[in-house]
């Protein structure tokens, strides 16, 4: 059975309670890191994982709070005493390769993969098969290159992850009847910001997608001053989990 480990439940705003976005999905064969905001590598150590363990990196978009630890990940992988040797696939939305090439111009050989094959892939609307998983993606309502992911496991279970997004039909379709839906929930209902979800919008997506379980993440500090659970439950009556750093959720 697959498990999701929530490394960071917060945003780019520094917080002692909530780290920046980062998730790990663990299956029998695969370790998948989804987004890696600042501090992700250290959080991984707290759950017994390192840069050696990841088989696949998935990025929802290139805002700094979601991608900042990519360079430290690749730099650590060159560490002379413990270099990474397992091949690594890194997947993002449209424009991700262009973004990585700009990083390469800055850091050059410091992030080159010397002992392993590092592959960048921009995911399309066609599913990607990786080890024991099938990955699908759809554009989200945030940045032009933003994507959400649907992961289908070999036992038939399913997981969908929004990344940052506003309400959109693509997300409802991507999350259709999944066992676990992970949605951003950046601001309370009365502080709506374009490009982000509120509890009621997250509840609407969960209701319309008929997901079996909803996990809310990506809370700005103002969310901790509001009854987010109630605002979401007013729309969606299914199981709702408010994300906390280092939380583990069975899929």
CB distance 216 to 178 below 8 Å: no
Which CATH number covers residue 165?
3.60.15.10
How large a percentage of the chain has pLDDT more than 90? 97
Instruction: Indicate the pTM of the whole model.
Output: 0.97
Q: How many structural domains comprise the chain?
A: 1
pLDDT in tens, 19-48: 999 999 999 999 999 999 999 999 999 999
104, two tokens: 């390469």
Cα distances from 11 to residues 8, 67, 222, in angstroms, run 8, 12, 11
Instruction: List CB contacts of 50: < 8 A, sequence separation 6 or more.
Output: 44
**How confident is the model at residue 143, as a pLDDT?**
94
CB distance 22 to 230 below 8 Å: no
Cα separation, 37 vs 35, in Å, equals 6
Per DSSP, helices labelled H in 120-251 are 169-174, 199-209, 228-233
> Residue 127 is part of which domain span?
3-250
CB distance 198 to 166 below 8 Å: no
Average pLDDT value over all residues in the chain: 97
**How confident is the model at residue 80, as a pLDDT?**
87
pLDDT in tens, 208-229: 999 999 999 999 999 999 999 9
Query: Which has the closest alpha carbon to 131: 16, 20, 21, 27?
Result: 27
Collapsed DSSP state (helix, strand, coil) of residue 43: helix
Chain CA centroid to CA 162, Å: 8
pLDDT in tens, 130-185: 999 999 999 999 999 999 999 999 999 999 999 999 999 999 999 999 999 999 99
């Amino acid at each position: 059975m697959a498990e999701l480990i929530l490394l960071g439940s917060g945003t780019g705003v520094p917080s002692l309670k909530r780290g920046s976005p980062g998730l790990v999905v663990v299956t029998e064969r695969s370790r998948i890191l989804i987004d890696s905001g600042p501090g992700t590598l250290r959080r991984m150590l707290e759950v017994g994982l390192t840069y050696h363990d990841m088989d696949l990196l998935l990025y929802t978009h290139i805002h700094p709070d979601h991608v900042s630890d990519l360079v430290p990940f690749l730099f650590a992988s060159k560490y002379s005493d413990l270099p990474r040797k397992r091949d690594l696939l890194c997947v993002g939305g449209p424009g991700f390769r262009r973004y990585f090439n700009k990083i390469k111009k800055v850091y050059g050989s410091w992030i080159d993969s010397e002992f392993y094959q590092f592959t960048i892939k921009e995911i399309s609307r066609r599913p990607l098969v990786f080890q024991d998983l099938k990955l699908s993606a759809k554009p989200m309502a945030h940045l032009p290159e933003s994507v959400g992911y649907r992961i289908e496991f070999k036992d038939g279970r399913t997981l969908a992850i929004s990344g940052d997004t506003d309400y959109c039909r693509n997300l409802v379709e991507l999350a259709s009847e999944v066992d676990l839906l992970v949605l951003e929930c950046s601001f309370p209902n009365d502080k709506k910001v374009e490009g982000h979800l509120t509890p009621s919008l997250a509840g609407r997506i969960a209701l319309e997608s008929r997901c079996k379980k909803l996990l809310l993440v990506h809370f700005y500090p103002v969310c901790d001053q509001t009854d987010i659970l109630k605002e979401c439950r007013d729309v969606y009556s299914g199981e709702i989990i408010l994300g906390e750093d280092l939380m583990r959720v069975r899929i």
